[in-house]
Amino acid sequence: MKEEISYNFLRKIGLTESEIKVYLALIKLGTSSKGNLIRESKIAPSKIYEITDKLIDKGLCSIIIKNGVKHFMGGPPVRIRDYLRKKQEEILQEEKELEKIMPEFQSQYENIPESVKVEVFMGWKGIETVFISFLDMAKKNEEVHIIGAGTSKEERKLELFYTKYGRIAFKKGLKIKTIFNESARNYIAKIEKNLKKTYNKRFLFDYTPTEILIFRNITAILFRREEPIIILVKDRETADSFRKYFEELWKISKR
């Protein structure tokens, strides 16, 4: 393996530049005294023990005594695999710990004093990012209100999109109330057939190219274009206002 490739790989898996220099020097030298290791690795004498100690912790270096003198020996390359496996185990453990404290982090994040926050997401990947975020934070029985849901020239893409994320939303037990465009009756029938679920829905307006989704303190305005755009407004008063609009429109909508 070329030294440059070795260096880049070791950097990628988390070794520092100094650790890499010392480890590659040890692999080249075999068993080495402190002086030889310093010359080969070009590491400052004052730092060499600190670095070898870190490599020992990683299983990539060991110490032997020859004639009463300390020597260093690089761990065999297979120990790199052991090091990676240990890192994987540590990451899995950290993920478990994160899951335990995530509710507290989420609560602190949601209770940050509010100022109006506006974000814009472009394209199908953009709206997918928004929906994934909503569904990740949503809890059973939370309410979602949608005004003006309907079709576009990209009807097939929309059908697949809302089938996919509608299935997740129903599985999570969200309470979704939707006011669809009149022109979307056949379209929503297809989605309900795909989902084998029925939306709590009503119909109003023949066609609107924009729909509004209200969830918690977030209002999402979706422009159904060939390349869709979604604007998120994070503000409690704005979301509450749109919820009031929804309730009034719901009263005059058709079943």
Locus of tokens 């670095």: 51
Global confidence as pTM:
0.56
DSSP assignment of 118-152: EEEEEHHHHHHHHHHHHHHH--TT-EEEEEEE---
Per-position pLDDT tens, the chain of length 255? 456 667 888 888 889 999 999 999 998 888 889 999 999 999 999 999 999 999 998 889 999 888 888 899 988 888 888 888 888 998 999 998 988 888 888 777 667 666 778 999 999 899 899 999 889 889 999 999 999 998 888 888 888 888 898 899 989 999 999 999 999 899 889 889 988 889 999 999 888 999 999 999 999 999 998 889 999 999 999 999 999 999 999 999 998
Interatomic CA distance for residues 188 and 163, integer angstroms: 10
Structural tokens at position 170? 């129903």
**Rounded to 5 degrees, what are φ and ψ at 35?**
-60, -45
Q: Are 212 and 147 in contact (CB under 8 A)?
A: yes
Under DSSP, the state recorded for 46 is G
Could you give all domains of the chain from N- to C-terminal order, each with its CATH number? 3-79 (1.10.10.10), 112-252 (3.30.870.10)
